[in-house]
Chain A
Amino acid sequence: MKKYKVVTSISYPKTGAMGKTGSWRVYKPVFDKSKCVKCLRCWIFCPEASIKREKDDTISIDYDYCKGCGICANECKVKAIVMEREGE
């Protein structure tokens, strides 16, 4: 990776530059594999790359970095992802 010497607000690709942002979450996405139709819309739309694509084209969720925005649940047409309040 090319790094620049000039001091300004540049950040380089890195996992979790701001720490484990999963701690920001109020609602968490819960995945039900039995309902998944492998459309991968959640994987496409996740703004944080916290949806991992599995070999069988189902998904798993990286709770270390998922901020709980709910876009994946909103995009899922078969309700294989639903949002549940943290701690419940």
Chain B
Amino acid sequence: MTVMIDTGNYIAAKAAVMAKPQVVAAYPITPQTTLVEGIANYVSSGEFKGEYICVESEHSAMSACIGASAAGSRTFTGTSSHGLLLMHEMLHWAALARLPIVMCNINRVVGPGWNIWADENDSISQRDTGWIQFYCSSNQEIFDTVIQSFKLAENKDIVLPVMISYNAFILSHTSMPVNIPDQKIVDDFIGKYVPQWNLDVDNPITFGNIIGPSGYYKVRRAMQDAQENAKKLIPQIAKEWKQKSGFYHGDLLELYKCDNAEYILLSMGAIGAESKVAVDELQKKGVKIGLARVRTFRPFPTEEILKLAKNAELIVIDRNISIGSEGAIFNEVKAALYGKSDTKVHGFIAGIGGKDVPYTDIEKMCNKAIGGKAKGYEWFGLEEV
């Protein structure tokens, strides 16, 4: 094992290369990040032995990944904000085609209002594409999640593409020490890629053919079943990874000091990491509060949230906004509780457009909710802008 001190993007590149994809297809210019530059470095050093396809757009990047994956290759790509949005059509395609493509997305603001700071609206907008969605809060978690995602995506009970999102700058461009296990450990863990279907001249099939309503209905249902399977497999695969590497990132919700909590804070991504400090500070002041950091947005951890709601009020912070409705996690948390729990849920929008959310602000939000002064849902910190 070695320790590598590097940015989230270069750590993701390292993880992706160690997973040995046979094809990486990526668009190299803005809104692309240094993630694919990192992979290109491994091409020039000879460490990456797969095919690196430089394409002319993100729509093409995902299309090339779909082609490569359909041909039976382990496939990886990376993107961000507008790049992810340009892929949107093909994201649906990859999931409906049940191709286990792994992709990192750097959560960046969507324009206009050109801005490359952290905001989760890009990937939240991909909610219904069928992709499994992880949100990381440290560079070690990025590394572990990328490695685990290949094993997860390729599992016969999943066979869905996986997106690993992490906040721009706060993680993508910030260096942290990360434990990198030996290549052999990664090789043994992920194993050789065995496609669940592929285009093969010796076994001709038609793919993407016309399909009647009842057949299509079954395809969608099978995707839903796969997402349900992921709820069990994500922690199971993470446990296996822990046995091999020593590190664990694997729950749908990462619980932090939730025992006997009267309030549970739910947040995601970089705010999720900052929330730990806020919880520590609040506990010092005698507040019985814990943190449930949302790691998977799809599948959504409905059952776990319901368990937490038995004994605690929930406070949700969203770094995204479904305009005309509410924050996405706030929405989903309430849906999870409907008819099964009457606990109060307080929602905050914070950090949109990359606006900094320090732990002191998270404390303020929590105190407002705990003190009964919060509205059902509100935008935090607007007056400071």
Which residues of A are interface residues toward B (Cβ below 8 A)?
1-2, 4-13, 18
User: What residue of chain A has the Cβ atom nearest to residue B211's Cβ?
Assistant: A9
Q: What B residues does A9 contact at CB under 8 A?
A: 96-97, 207-209, 211, 215-216, 219
Residue from the list A2, A6, A8, A18 in contact with B210, Cβ < 8 A: A18
Residues of B within 8 A of A12 (CB): 205-206
Interface mask (B77-102 → A, CB under 8 Å = 1, otherwise 0): 00000000000000000001110000
- In the complex, 28 of the A-B residue pairs with CB atoms within 8 angstroms, ordered by the A residue number, are A2-B200, A4-B196, A4-B205, A5-B196, A6-B197, A6-B222, A7-B218, A7-B219, A7-B221, A7-B222, A8-B97, A8-B98, A8-B219, A9-B96, A9-B97, A9-B208, A9-B211, A9-B215, A9-B219, A10-B197, A10-B205, A10-B206, A11-B205, A11-B206, A11-B209, A12-B206, A13-B206, A18-B210
Q: Which residue of B lies closest to A12 (CB)?
A: B205
What are the residues of chain A within 8 A of B96 when measuring CB–CB?
8-9
Contact between A4 and B197 (Cβ–Cβ < 8 Å)? yes
With an 8 Å Cβ cutoff, the count of chain B residues facing the other chain is 23
Chain A minimum-CB-distance residue to B220: A7
Chain B, Cβ-Cβ closest to A5? B196
Which partner residue on chain B sits nearest A14 by CB separation? B206
Complex Cα distance, B218 from A13, in Å, reads 21
| B45 proximal to A (CB < 8 A) | no
Closest residue to B216 on the A side, CB-wise?
A: A9
- B interface residue numbers (CB < 8 A to A): 96-98, 156, 159, 196-197, 200, 203-211, 215-216, 218-219, 221-222
Tell me, in angstroms, the Cα distance from A41 to B207 when the chains sit together: 28
Across the interface, B203 reaches (CB within 8 A) one of A2, A7, A8, namely A2
CB within 8 A of B207: which of A7, A10, A18? A10
Question: Are A1 and B219 in contact (CB-based, < 8 A)?
Answer: no
Q: How far is the CB of A22 from chain B (nearest CB, A)?
A: 17
Residues on the A chain within 8 Å of B204, using CB: 13
Closest 6 pairs between A and B when the two form their complex, measured CB to CB: A7-B222, A4-B197, A2-B203, A6-B196, A11-B206, A8-B98
Specify which of A2, A5, A6, A18 lies most central, judged by the most chain B CB atoms within 10 Å of its CB. Answer: A6
Q: 4 other contacts beyond A5-B196, A6-B197, A8-B98, with CB at 8 A cut-off?
A: A6-B159, A7-B219, A8-B222, A10-B197
